[in-house]
Amino acid sequence: MQLSELSRRSGVSAASIKYYLREGLLPPGVTVSARKAEYDEDHLRRLRLIRALLTVGGMSVAQARDVLAASHDPAFDRHTRLGVAQYLLPPHVTAPPEDTPEGATWRERRGEVLTLLRDDLGWQIHDGAPALDALTEALTTLDSLGYATATASLRDYAVALRPIAEKELAIVDEHPAIDEAIEAVVAHTVLYEPVLLSLRRLAHEDVSARLHPPA
Amino acid sequence: MQLSELSRRSGVSAASIKYYLREGLLPPGVTVSARKAEYDEDHLRRLRLIRALLTVGGMSVAQARDVLAASHDPAFDRHTRLGVAQYLLPPHVTAPPEDTPEGATWRERRGEVLTLLRDDLGWQIHDGAPALDALTEALTTLDSLGYATATASLRDYAVALRPIAEKELAIVDEHPAIDEAIEAVVAHTVLYEPVLLSLRRLAHEDVSARLHPPA
DNA sequence: GAGCAAGGATAGTGCCACTATCTTTCTATG
DNA sequence: CATAGAAAGATAGTGGCACTATCCTTGCTC
């Protein structure tokens, strides 16, 4: 199909598709002639994924490009590529400078969390996992606002989320083809986040309605 | 304290503080004279909350302003204000137009989810809850990519999140002062989201390491 | 072979979160 | 008392981002 048809079937403007092509999010089609390029169903699928990452996932174009590129890099094996894709996903937080008081408490907090997850819960996680930094950042921010987060409640969260993670990984492993699996990881990691957060808010509403019944 | 000291103690540039004052995120200080305004500890605290909403929470300045404004609106009672704060929080999705095929499936999906939560799980949730739209949007997007989400797994998510929501609401109810409670709701709703998502990703890593042990 | 639509390149647009500058006002100091 | 200097406030500017509008070339069609 031509670019115009790709645009029509995806609902994305032709100008935007050209933009994604320029930015390397969408691989170029087969150039048939100087005024005709051929795109296939894979392009359509990829385009839908791109739009999902940008809108539902809230990622930037640059982030989406990096994730999509890394997830198709043949230099890595299956397990690594699955991890690389996840490690590249936002958010990315950087630790505060080491020589400041904030930096010291930050690092201390990070160590506590790592100990909880590794030693207490027995999770096998890498020391440099970006999610660990994001978690530390959120916790220290809450601390600075006076909302101390007990290690115990953090453990409750972790325990509640563990079975969910197992189910999700099982779904990914149903895809034998590596490219499909990668896409499944990216899609599940990013697109299930709003599912999780929405359900949490709805649960809040239910609990609140029970605690404070409206008149 | 003066604006310059507020800047120094918060780490936010004086120019940015002026910007937040202009945009109505931060209430003005007491004008002592034309070149001197007095700020107090509440301003410092509010400023920290603003920064947290913008950076950790990923909200826009306009969204933060609306949430902060509504949460201090005396026209609402405690329960309503807690809800209003949450309803105003992003993301906000709009349903597709009713007369399109996508609009029809979207609405159908929304109805299914509502039935699951209300009739099956017995949750008391409002029909117009924005989280319901966000949830529907995420699910239909996943559907369009070929990842059908079984109602059963959605129920698993909901069941896993329910106890977390209970704990969180209990913490909020520890604050008798309404302003403190509002701030607690906003802070918990927004700032615990990265906690939840980070822990989920770390759980993924652990599960993946067990399924595919690295060499 | 004239018209026209598709592709590709390039410059422009609108929004956002600041940020730099300018002016006014006050106060501390010689 | 004069004046330098600093704080507030107003206003205009900046840089990044995600597109988007325009222009030009090319080649198919009638």
In a domain, A125, yes or no: yes
Answer yes or no: is pLDDT of B197 > 70. Answer: yes
User: What is the extent of the structural domain holding B9?
Assistant: 3-55
Q: Residue B74's pLDDT is what?
A: 74
pLDDT bucket at B196, cuts 50 / 70 / 90: very high
According to the model, what pLDDT value does residue B214 have?
63
CA–CA min distance B51, chain A (Å): 9
Q: Which residue has the higher pLDDT, B80 or B64?
A: B64
A73 shares its domain with A146 = yes
Question: In whole angstroms, what is the distance from residue A85 CA to residue A79 CA?
Answer: 10
Tell me, yes or no, whether A38 and A114 share the same domain.
Answer: no
pLDDT digits (tens, 9 = 90+) for B145-188: 888 877 778 999 999 999 999 988 888 888 777 777 778 888 88
Q: Can you read off the two tokens belonging to residue B159? A: 């069941």
Enter the tokens of residue A130.
């970006």
Does one domain contain both B88 and B122? yes
The residue among B93, B142, B202 with the most chain A CBs within 10 A of its CB, best to mutate, is: B202
A61 occurs within a structural domain: no
From the list A97, A208, A125, the residue with the least C-alpha distance to B170 is: A208
Q: Do B27 and B81 have their domain in common?
A: no
**Res A106: pLDDT:** 93
Chain A positions in Cβ-Cβ contact with residue B168 (cut-off 8 Å): 204
**A28 shares its domain with A79:** no
Candidates A157, A159, A175, partner chain B, best to mutate (most B CBs within 10 A): A157
User: Which residue, B43, B37, B45, is CA-closest to B2?
Assistant: B37
Is A191 a residue whose pLDDT tops 70?
Answer: yes
pLDDT for A119: 96
Q: What is the mean pLDDT of chain A?
A: 87
Q: Is residue A162 part of a domain?
A: yes
Residue A215 — pLDDT band, cuts 50, 70, 90? low
| Residue B16 confidence (pLDDT) | 95
Residue B164 to residue A153: CA distance in whole angstroms: 9
Are both B162 and B95 inside the same structural domain?
yes
Q: Could you tell me if B120 and B36 lie in one domain?
A: no
Nearest alpha carbon to residue B71 among B81, B61, B56, B58? B81
Same domain, A74 and A144: yes
- Which residues make beta-bridge pairs with B37? B31
Mean pLDDT computed over B187-203: 91
Is B135 found in the same domain as B192? yes
Q: In the prediction, which pLDDT does A188 show?
A: 85
| pLDDT, tens digit (0-9, with 9 covering 90-100), for A144-184 | 888 887 777 899 999 999 999 998 888 888 877 777 777 88
Straight-line distance from CA A8 to C1' D4, in Å? 68
Please check whether residue A62 lies inside any domain of the structure: no
Q: What pLDDT, on a 0 to 100 scale, did the predictor assign at position B160?
A: 92
Q: Does B192 reach chain A within 8 Å, measured CB to CB?
A: yes
Residues 169-188 on B with a CB inside 8 Å of A are 169, 171, 173, 184, 187-188
Element (H, E) at A51: helix A41-55
pLDDT of amino acid A1:
85
Q: Assess whether A114 (CB) lies less than 7 A from strand C.
A: no
What pLDDT score was predicted for residue A118? Answer: 97
A151 touches strand D (CB under 7 A): no
Residue-wise pLDDT tens digits, B116-146: 999 999 999 999 899 999 999 999 998 888 8
Domain-located, residue B66: no
Nearest alpha-carbon partner for A128 in B205, B195, B197: B205
Report the range of poorest mean pLDDT among A56-70, A73-87, A194-208. Answer: A73-87
A159 in reach of chain B (CB within 8 A): no
B13 touches strand D (CB under 7 A): no
Asked whether residue B183 is assigned to any structural domain, the reply reads: yes
Question: Residue B180 domain-assigned?
Answer: yes
Considering its fold, how many domains does chain A have in total?
2
Cβ B169–A207 below 8 Å, yes or no?
Answer: yes
Between these two residues, B99 and A85, which has the higher pLDDT value? Answer: B99
Average pLDDT over every residue of A109-136: 94
Is A193 at the interface with chain B, CB within 8 A?
yes
What is the Cβ-side half-sphere exposure of residue B112, based on CA atoms within 13 angstroms? 16
Residues A204 and A124 in one domain: yes
pLDDT over 90, % of chain A? 46
| Domain annotation covers residue B68 | no
pLDDT number for residue B215? 59
Is A144:A136 a contact under the CB 8 Å cutoff?
Answer: no
Can you give the pLDDT at residue A214?
Answer: 63
DSSP3 helix / strand / coil % (chain B, rounded to 5): 70, 5, 30
For residues A68 and B78, which has the higher predicted lDDT (pLDDT)? A68
pLDDT digits (tens, 9 = 90+) for B37-66: 899 999 999 999 999 999 988 899 999 998
Residues A17 and A102 in one domain: no
Q: Tell me, yes or no, whether A44 and A72 share the same domain.
A: no
Please give the average per-residue pLDDT across A83-101, as a whole number.
Answer: 79
